[in-house]
Amino acid sequence: MSKTVVVTGAAGYIGGQISLLLKDAGHKVIGIDRRQYPSNLSGVFDRFVRNDFASDAALNVLIQERPDAVIHCAATSLVGPSIEHPDEYYNNNVVKTLKLLDIVCQAIPKTRIIFSSSAAVYGTPIMNPCHEVDPKEPISPYGHSKLMIETVMESYRVAYGLDYVAFRYFNACGADSQ
């Protein structure tokens, strides 16, 4: 059964790889990214919106398309620079994601959110290997921003019935040239 899926941060490595897999599985894939349409993903997207994921243009596409899921990979994502410029990280990763979640809850409440979180929510893990239930003690604005959204999504689940899951990536790499 084919689904419509929106991927934010679709021009990035994780978003691009997810988009490729979704297309191979027969789904309608809508990419959103403020970066240019990636040439190595030619033919993957049924629709591509070159804009910020929280822009009116991008949010209007969500409302029009009424996707079954939004895979939210868009983020400002480097730990080091987050310490020097925390405002960029809190604005992009928290404020703009709140806007996205509000639109989903208000206009398309049956849409599932798959959130690209980060192992940075653990800070310096107390055990190796790290487990999902280990304490979350981020040590950077980047890690804090990801944990904030996880907390918001749980609150939205309770209050509004938001259907979500968060994946905490440790290190994303692969053989694809993207």
Looking at the annotation, which residues are catalytic?
Answer: 142
State the Cα–Cα distance between residues 38 and 18, nearest whole angstrom.
14
State residue 77 phi and psi, 5-degree precision.
Answer: -130, 15
Max Cα distance, the chain (Å)? 46
Q: How far apart, in whole angstroms, are the C-alpha atoms of residue 13 and residue 177?
A: 9
Helix/strand/coil for 45:
coil
Q: Give the phi and the psi of residue 12 in degrees, each rounded to 5.
A: -85, 175
